[in-house]
Structure 1
Amino acid sequence: MFSGLLIILVPLIVGYLIPLRHKAALTLINQLLSWIVYVILFFMGISLAFLDNLASNLLAIFHYSAVSITIILLCNAAALLWLERAMPWRHQHRQEKLPSRVAMALESLKLCGVVVAGFVVGLSGLGFLQHATEASEYTLIFLLFLIGIQLRNNGMTLRQIVLNRRGMIIAVVVALSSLAGGVINAFVLDLPLNTGLAMASGFGWYSLSGILLTESFGPVIGSAAFFNDLARELIAIMLIPGLVRRSRSTALGLCGATSMDFTLPVLQRTGGLDMVPAAIVHGFILSLLVPLLMAFFSA
């Protein structure tokens, strides 16, 4: 019962206990994380190809994903719009000209291409490919170990988190409204409550949520979580420039965990430099919650 929980928490905690001061080592870890994500998503694609009743399972993946992202984002938007009305975010920033949002979206879609490539390879039916699930599990343990090191050594102190009240509040609102959406998803999609909550706990960190839930609930739920969280990032990229003028809290909150990395440049250029500290704190808190909440709901 607790094997999935241990797979997630043990390497994460061990990694978090390791302090690193060498910038070169941290840079190498960041590069390794990027490469390992591609490897595990490739394995996930292979696992999909070995599913029984393949056609119906693929339809289930896209059905779960479409319903899930719609409900979760509606819950997020409703809560964040209320927050903006109750606590307006004052600013005097004028938007800068943005790079092509299409180009940024295509960068994210590369990960989809890796899953599809693994799926195509898996369709060959070669015997040794049946061990893709076991290979992804061992790779996942190493990935979580590196993520633990990264979280410990990202330079974010408790004082910095506590002092940025706006980033903390938005992160809490996003987490609670996403989990509320997960409860609704469980009833709408006729899934166990813990599965719906686990799917809602990705907060846009698609490269981790898909991997963790594949290990815990199988490739159908894992793939649905992957596409669900990838869609959040793509939708956020498209909506940020328009939303930031009307509701800065909503523009930041819809980014989820990606506000501290991928969507940060868009937030900075559309919302100004005063939005950056809140975005980093918001993304850090949600990134920290993803593996913890998924471990809890997977157990």
Structure 2
Amino acid sequence: MFSGMLFIFFPLIIGYLIPVKKESVLAFINAQTSRLVLVILALMGLSLAGLDNLGENLSQILLYTLTFFFCISVCNLLVLPLLDKGFPLTTQHGHQQLPKAKMLLESVKLILVVAAGLLAGLLLNMDLSWVDQASEIILLVLLFLIGIQLRNSGMTLKQILLNRQGMMIALVMITTSLIGGLIAAWMLNIPVTHGLAMASGFGWYSLAGILMGDGLGPVYGGAAFLNELMRELIALTMIPALISRYPNTAIGYAGATAMDFTLPVIQNCGGIRCVPIAIVSGFILSLLVPVLMLFFLSL
């Protein structure tokens, strides 16, 4: 039952065991990871082009996306504010200009890559039987590089265990997201394991879309990608507005992106005290995305 999970999870473990100390090597790995993500997203678009009844499937993707986004977000936002009441965090309002437009453009670029793959598949009318196998091979390489990135992110086990607030935020996000996934699965009348897998993306849209697409096909892959991308776009808008009064909520809703993509916004709006909490929370969620998603997909 777990053979498929172990096959895909193995390169992540191997990558995590490799320490890299040279900054130039890490920079190279980061660059290649970004490029591979773009390649797989383009292949996701090609997979969508190969679907029968494309219009019907696109409407299903949107239905899954909106249902999961609503259920998971509501569950997150019902509980995260309780952390702000029970464990308040003092923030400092930043005065730097935030490059939000640039960040939003990066997210739009990813959507355009998927759209370009879809358009190419429709216009060229090519044989797409090779796409799934190519995606699997590139996915294994990508997971290997992601494992190296996680190992060399600068976080030690001691730093994570000593940051109680970051761990609590991550725990709330995991619990409420999975509950939201169960509710969405019930509403959509799909298997519970599919709902739990969809809920395990925690904002990591590229990896979530790739893993779900590889495990359950392009409909689930497209829905997972859009669902997590919507979380990031909302988080970019919500963090400046909420972090002064609800810092735990703002950091938590950012999910896995709190340790990288949305971290500059969190630091500039909430101050330096928010940074270690955001990194710990984001790191735990990032580490658990492939673990939980592959586990639920294997059931």
TM-score (norm 1): 0.96
**Which amino acid in the other structure matches residue 63 of structure 2?**
H
State the distance in 2 between where 1:16 and 1:245 align: 36
**Which amino acid in the other structure matches residue 75 of structure 2?**
C
Cα offset, 1:94, TM superposition: 2.4
Cα offset, 1:134, TM superposition: 1.0
Higher mean alpha-carbon deviation, 259-268 vs 153-162, is at: 153-162
**Which amino acid in the other structure matches residue 185 of structure 1?**
A
CA contact (8 A) 1:202 1:225 kept: yes
Q: Residue deviations 1:98-125, cap 9 Å, x none?
A: 3253442122111000000000011135
Cα offset, 1:262, TM superposition: 0.6
Q: Residue deviations 1:236-268, cap 9 Å, x none?
A: 001111111221111001100000111000000
**Which amino acid in the other structure matches residue 48 of structure 1?**
L
Aligned to 2:189: 190
Cα offset, 1:127, TM superposition: 3.6
**Which amino acid in the other structure matches residue 36 of structure 2?**
I
The residue correspondences of 1:238-257 to structure 2 (distance < 5 A) are 238-257=237-256
**Which amino acid in the other structure matches residue 282 of structure 1?**
S
Aligned to 2:257: 258
Aligned to 2:27: 27
State the distance in 1 between where 2:72 and 2:171 align: 14
Unaligned runs of 5+ in 2: none
**Which amino acid in the other structure matches residue 149 of structure 2?**
Q
Aligned to 1:78: 78
Cα offset, 1:85, TM superposition: 1.4
State the distance in 2 between where 1:81 and 1:232 align: 17
Q: Residue deviations 1:261-297, cap 9 Å, x none?
A: 1100000010001101111111100000000001110
The residue correspondences of 1:26-175 to structure 2 (distance < 5 A) are 26-91=26-91, 93-175=92-174
State the distance in 2 between where 1:219 and 1:113 align: 16
TM-score (norm 2): 0.96
Aligned to 2:11: 11
SS at match of 2:294: helix
Aligned to 1:200: 199
Deviating runs (4+, > 4 A) in structure 1?
Answer: none
CA contact (8 A) 2:11 2:141 kept: yes
- Size of the aligned set, in residue pairs, is 298
**Which amino acid in the other structure matches residue 26 of structure 1?**
L
Q: Residue deviations 1:26-69, cap 9 Å, x none?
A: 11100000000000000000000000111010000011101111
State the distance in 2 between where 1:254 and 1:142 align: 29
**Which amino acid in the other structure matches residue 70 of structure 2?**
T
State the distance in 1 between where 2:98 and 2:86 align: 32
User: C-alpha root-mean-square deviation of aligned residues, in Å?
Assistant: 1.3
CA contact (8 A) 2:11 2:140 kept: yes
